[in-house]
Amino acid sequence: MEDQSGLGKPSMGSLTSDVFLREAKALGDPTRYRIFRYIDEAGHPVYVDELTALLRVNHNAVRQHLAVLKEACLVSEQVENRSKPGRPRLKYILHSQVRGSWGTEGPYQAVAVLLAEAMKSKRPVRDVGREAGRRRVQGLKGQDKDLLTVLSDNLTDDGFDPKVVGSDDGFDVVLQRCPFVEVASVDPNTVCDIHLGLLEGLVHELDPQLDLSLTVHDPRRAGCRVKVRGIDSRPGRCETPLAPGMS
């Protein structure tokens, strides 16, 4: 539901007054609100040139608006994991802490949709998750489909705060935060199966020969570990490069 200003209302009780005022001030500008909504609905990390084409303004104006949204913790800025020559670009996603506020879909809403789909179709939640993961990759039209980038971006977007650790024939992703701690504490099998399916869909849509596993820990302590193996074990296979500081 939206108020008369066109801004989606924040979740009741989810924001302190200082945070609310900071976010509302940033979103009070129509151009910044349009950028915020576009990043939320894009389904992929958004680059500056994409926003300049959308708004038909220069790069500096877009960067100034993005700086305000970043300062208000409404969007997160990331450095592109670039394997090609050239300076890595900056990309922007919705800040994980703001999901579920200002008219955006929160992580619980996304999981609820998948659960409803599983119940309606009477299929295992892991299968439904796999399909959702494949759809996410297929929706990356014209975007970077590097395995590590896609996996890391999706886990960040879902609020897991991933940390990538390299290994001899692949990499691990440590999930430093569980955004579903309340539900996962009650029914870890369902919540973890949904997300294991999502990750399998993401990875196998990009490379069906890779092996993926998930080691689950107490959601209140976080630290679940996603393991991707088989990247450089096949002849002629190029290893997915890790970003600086991730090895």
If asked whether residues 81 and 144 sit together in one domain, one would say no
What is the chain's alpha carbon radius of gyration, rounded to the nearest angstrom? 19
Structure tokens at 43: 């389904």
Residue 190 lies in a domain: yes
Distances (CA, A) of 142 to 41, 54, 69: 16, 15, 25
Residue 126 lies in a domain: yes
Q: What is the mean pLDDT of residues 65-76?
A: 93
Q: What is the mean pLDDT of residues 203-224?
A: 92
If asked whether residues 128 and 155 sit together in one domain, one would say yes
Write out the residue range of the structural domain in which residue 114 sits: 107-229
Domain boundary among 65, 98, 131: 98
**Predicted confidence band of residue 7 (pLDDT cuts 50, 70, 90):** low
**Predicted confidence band of residue 234 (pLDDT cuts 50, 70, 90):** very low
pLDDT at 233 over 50: no
If asked whether residues 89 and 111 sit together in one domain, one would say no
Q: CA 218 to CA 145: how far, in whole Å?
A: 31
If asked whether residues 32 and 131 sit together in one domain, one would say no
pTM (two decimals): 0.64
If asked whether residues 86 and 40 sit together in one domain, one would say yes
Domain with residue 180: its CATH number is 3.30.1380.20
**Predicted confidence band of residue 144 (pLDDT cuts 50, 70, 90):** low
pLDDT at 226 over 90: yes
Number of domains composing the chain: 2
If asked whether residues 202 and 138 sit together in one domain, one would say yes
Q: What is the pLDDT of residue 237?
A: 33
DSSP 219-231: TTT--EEEEEE-S
Domain boundary among 68, 98, 128: 98
If asked whether residues 216 and 117 sit together in one domain, one would say yes
If asked whether residues 117 and 216 sit together in one domain, one would say yes
Q: What is the pLDDT of residue 34?
A: 95
Domain boundary among 80, 98, 116: 98
Residue 120 lies in a domain: yes
Burial of 152 (0-12, 13-18, 19+ CB in 10 A): buried
If asked whether residues 187 and 134 sit together in one domain, one would say yes
If asked whether residues 150 and 87 sit together in one domain, one would say no
Q: Which of 99, 104, 38 is nearest to 66 (CA)?
A: 38
